[in-house]
Chains A and B, each alone.
Chain A
Amino acid sequence: MLRMTGIGKSFLGVRVLDGVDLEASAGEVHAVVGENGAGKSTLMKILAGVHTPDEGTIEIDGRSVAFGHPIEAQRAGVAIIYQELTLLPERTVAENVFLGREPVRRGLVDRAAMESATGELLSSLGEESFGPRDLVRRLSVAQQQVVEIAKALSLNARIVVMDEPTAALADHEVELLYTLVRRLTGRGIAVLYISHRLPEIFELADRITVLKDGARVTTAEASSLDTATLVRLMVGRELDSYYPPRAAEPPGEVMLSVRGGGNARLHGIDLDLRAGEIVGVAGLQGSGRTELAKALFGAEPFTSGEMTPCRPRSVREGIAAGIGLVTEDRKAEGLLLNQHVRDNALLVARAAGTRRPGIERLLERVRLTPPRPTQEVRLLSGGNQQKVVLAKWMTVAPRVLLFDEPTRGVDVGAKAVIHELMRELARDGTAILMISSELPELIGMSDRILVLRDGRIAGELPAGATEEAVMHLAAAS
């Protein structure tokens, strides 16, 4: 159905794609994987008409096409669902689905037709939790994805590109997405699926194409590959183990302790964080994971309970008490995207008024590539951006460092670096709390795991607990 041949593209003289071939047939899920910077996004944007290729051809159903504008790609049946959703929060579901193509009757927009058509699309996707008249801003991220997919279907899309669709979803929502993807392929739609999460890829994909440094490494049947092989193909080397070894010594003194901590979203939180250990936090979306980190940090403080060394009432108090937070959304909450690496890395140190550490040494320590302090942060890959966030906190040497989804949207290579850095920090005596919705990461990294449910700690599991045990605690009613 789709055949892209010899696609090449350069930006400002930098070759980002070099002779890449990709094909997809009707009803197939074709995963495209590779580290950040491998060229996946550029390839998909070429398919969607956002960029024009310097060389190479695109054929759809045997006919050669060239897209100068996203609309032309849409008309040819290509829909792309971006990582950052492209919906208008202040408009209704129906208005979003038909944006730019509103049905008109006697010169006026035919709301009734628009809403009933949207309703039909939603029910064909098995979606009953919201309707065509709901405002998009009141929907969850997962529901918004359904809206995006409905929009793609209303365009009669035959090739649907999904760019990191699960990045912002909780585990139970991921299952719903799988169902949706299978509904799409059941209709004979070809799905191009881009993800960093290898388990998803093996769950869904029929074929896998691996990109590295702008070139295609291979295309293979998913059943002929395993995780280790795939990782080796992506990074070009065997990662002997995914996760760095746990600490050899038992954890040290208690760096932070909470008894009966509570606020509007959290109840009766008891926990101790010790020097040298990494404590994992699991829980479904809405269980209070992020709220816990923000309460410990002072961003959304506890209103009751005891906390030592102190119960921070504000972020400044939290930082003064030696607590740092690597936020879930690094673009919105972690970084000043238009500023240089140096200004970002020194943000906390400057605000706290501590002595400035040597920036070059710091950037080398977090393995920023290249370690240039004068680069604008928005130009860095997700992995490098996260390293800058880490550097920002390392300038003040916090006693306790809280990580909320430390490797979301980060490629495999950078992920390993961040995991190693977390272990190093722990070894140097920092107490670490890590929230992750990626269970393998949680289990691989944590010395013990706290499971949250409805704002309470539902239980604690030792290192090496199974995914089933975690899920059981997180989801039990």
Chain B
Amino acid sequence: MTQQLKLRRGGAEGSFLRRLSADRPARAVYVALALLIVLGWLLFALDGGRFLSQENIVGIQQRSAALGIVAVGQTLVILAGSLDLSVAYLISLTSLVAAEIMAGADGGVPAAVAAVLAVSATVGLVNGLIVTRLRVHAFIATLGVALIIRGALDERYDGPAGSVPESFQHLGYDRIGPIPVSALLWAAVAASAWLLLSRTRLGYRIYAVGGDAEVARLSGVRTERVVIAAHVLCSVCAGIAGLLLASRLGAGAPTVGTDGGYDLESIAAVVLGGTALAGGRGGVAGTVGGVLLLAVLDSIFNQLEVNSFAKDVVRGVVLVAALAIYARRRRTT
């Protein structure tokens, strides 16, 4: 987390702090994160372990990376007033595309990466076109695309396929000091998205379209293009997550996306970070906090050996409570 904050501060000439302090939900999620870390430290101490051990921190970062990358993409579409439920199946699809093209050979890596980016951008384009041109609500449009991808996967695969060369597995497992390469990848994706949102025209227009599409239109924004661009970027993020997971597994798997629950979990992380589900308000900083919050929560559960049903109950309570608190804070300001 700290290395990401530093990256952003450096890149934005101090405006990051100003913007973050204006973004109250983002601040709130970091306060909650800090409290949770203290709580985790206490629980670990009582349990006889060390919460801030290197092993544990690396674990949290690795668990977060894939979800984090997807959630950054999800942030973009949600800010634009849309939504993407197809990311989980797209992750499965791209992990297979990557592993099949690489087929265990180092030479296949560039082609595989290019193919994954192309496939995911195409899926994003389709999502965007269905939402804007056919005027199908994003919920249904991306659910439909998700089902189409699932059908294709079920038809062709019934288990892991392809294989990833050892050189590509460095992405999933190596570290530079205490920092896994995957966390750096996540940081880079998050930093790019932050730059996009706060310093480019496209970013401004994503906020505008999500805030009020009619206002944006009357101000000369080509709203459909903005929504399509957000969908393409979101799907590309899912593709990057697919690459990362393929590198971890050493192969592609038709269930890797859905097993991870990346669709709903990424939306949960986004709203936990204070981005409005209706669009137009929020940002990447909050999402990063939301992902870390979920990961720290997970790591505490693991240490305490909580069973998975109780885990889900607690996560559900945390999510609902967080949104209730945001709603309350907004009413009082």
Interface 1/0 per residue, B183-203 and A, CB below 8 Å: 000000000000100011101
Question: Closest CB-CB distance, A48 to chain B, in whole Å?
Answer: 9
Secondary structure call for the A interface: loop
Q: Which residues of B contact A291 (CB under 8 A)?
A: none
Q: Which residues of A contact B214 (CB under 8 A)?
A: 86
B220 & A74 in contact (Cβ 8 Å cutoff):
yes
Q: Which residues of A contact B280 (CB under 8 A)?
A: 88, 90
In-complex Cβ contact of B215 among A74, A88, A107 (8 A): A88
Whether, in the assembled complex, B207 has its beta carbon less than 8 Å from a beta carbon of chain A, the answer is yes
Alpha-carbon distance A50/B22, docked complex (angstroms) = 35
Alpha-carbon distance A104/B205, docked complex (angstroms) = 13
Question: Closest CB-CB distance, B288 to chain A, in whole Å?
Answer: 20
Given A99-B221, A102-B204, are A87 and B199 also a contact pair (CB < 8 Å)? no
A102 & B211 in contact (Cβ 8 Å cutoff):
no
Whether, in the assembled complex, A3 has its beta carbon less than 8 Å from a beta carbon of chain B, the answer is no
Q: Which residues of A contact B200 (CB under 8 A)?
A: 107-109
Pick the 6 closest A-B CB pairs, nearest first. Answer: A100-B220, A100-B219, A88-B211, A71-B220, A99-B219, A108-B199
In-complex Cβ contact of B211 among A74, A90, A101, A109 (8 A): A90
Q: Which residues of B contact A95 (CB under 8 A)?
A: 204, 207
Of A70, A91, A104, A135, which is in contact with the most chain B CB atoms at under 10 Å from its CB? A91
A70 & B204 in contact (Cβ 8 Å cutoff):
no
Interface 1/0 per residue, B202-227 and A, CB below 8 Å: 01110110011011111111000000
Secondary structure call for the B interface: helix
Whether, in the assembled complex, A265 has its beta carbon less than 8 Å from a beta carbon of chain B, the answer is no
Interface 1/0 per residue, A61-101 and B, CB below 8 Å: 00000000011001000000000001111110001000111
Whether, in the assembled complex, A111 has its beta carbon less than 8 Å from a beta carbon of chain B, the answer is yes
B208 & A88 in contact (Cβ 8 Å cutoff):
yes
Alpha-carbon distance A149/B220, docked complex (angstroms) = 17
* Interface range, A side: 20 to 34
Q: Which residues of A contact B212 (CB under 8 A)?
A: 86, 88
B211 & A91 in contact (Cβ 8 Å cutoff):
yes
Question: Closest CB-CB distance, A90 to chain B, in whole Å?
Answer: 4
Interface 1/0 per residue, B266-280 and A, CB below 8 Å: 000000000000001
Whether, in the assembled complex, B21 has its beta carbon less than 8 Å from a beta carbon of chain A, the answer is no
In-complex Cβ contact of A91 among B15, B195, B208, B218 (8 A): B208
A-B contact pairs, 24 of them (CB 8 A): A71-B220, A74-B220, A86-B214, A86-B215, A88-B211, A88-B212, A89-B211, A90-B211, A90-B281, A91-B208, A95-B204, A99-B204, A99-B208, A99-B215, A99-B219, A100-B205, A100-B216, A100-B219, A100-B221, A101-B220, A108-B200, A109-B200, A111-B15, A135-B22
In-complex Cβ contact of A104 among B201, B218, B219 (8 A): B201
Of B218, B221, B281, which is in contact with the most chain A CB atoms at under 10 Å from its CB? B218
Q: Which residues of B contact A111 (CB under 8 A)?
A: 15, 199
A91 & B207 in contact (Cβ 8 Å cutoff):
yes
Alpha-carbon distance A109/B207, docked complex (angstroms) = 14
Alpha-carbon distance A107/B203, docked complex (angstroms) = 12
Known contacts A86-B218, A90-B280, A95-B207; 16 additional CB pairs below 8 A are A74-B220, A86-B214, A86-B215, A88-B208, A88-B216, A89-B211, A90-B281, A99-B220, A100-B205, A100-B216, A100-B219, A101-B220, A104-B201, A109-B199, A111-B199, A135-B22
Q: Which residues of A contact B219 (CB under 8 A)?
A: 86, 99-101
Alpha-carbon distance A99/B221, docked complex (angstroms) = 8
Q: Which residues of B contact A99 (CB under 8 A)?
A: 204, 208, 215-216, 219-221
